[in-house]
């Protein structure tokens, strides 16, 4: 939840994911020489946050698209 808030603020201000590269580099630095561990680090650390931000963006778009009801006379 904290990552979603921080990356959402960053994405809103800069319109790019800056921390995605940092997370992937951090995963590679923590476990050097193991590319599968880096893939797991990305899969569980980065991808859920991006999916949550995309869901929030879609929910925001839906809240802006107001469909007015018809008035029957």
Q: Which of 61, 60, 65, 25 is nearest to 42 (CA)?
A: 25
pLDDT in tens, 10-26: 777 777 777 767 777 77
Distance CA 11, CA 46 (A): 14
Positive or negative torsion for Cα 14, 12, 43, 29: positive
CA distance 28 to 21: 11
Confirm whether pTM is higher than 0.85: no
Chain center to CA of 67: 28
What confidence tens digit (pLDDT) does each residue in 31-63 have? 888 888 888 877 887 788 888 888 888 877 777
């Amino acid at each position: 939840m904290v990552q979603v808030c921080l990356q959402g603020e960053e994405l809103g201000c800069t319109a790019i994911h800056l921390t995605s590269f940092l997370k992937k580099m951090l995963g590679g630095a923590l476990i050097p020489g193991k590319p599968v561990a880096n893939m797991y680090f990305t899969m569980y650390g980065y991808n859920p946050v991006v999916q949550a931000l995309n869901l929030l963006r879609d929910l925001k778009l839906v809240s802006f698209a107001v469909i007015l009801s018809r008035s029957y006379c």
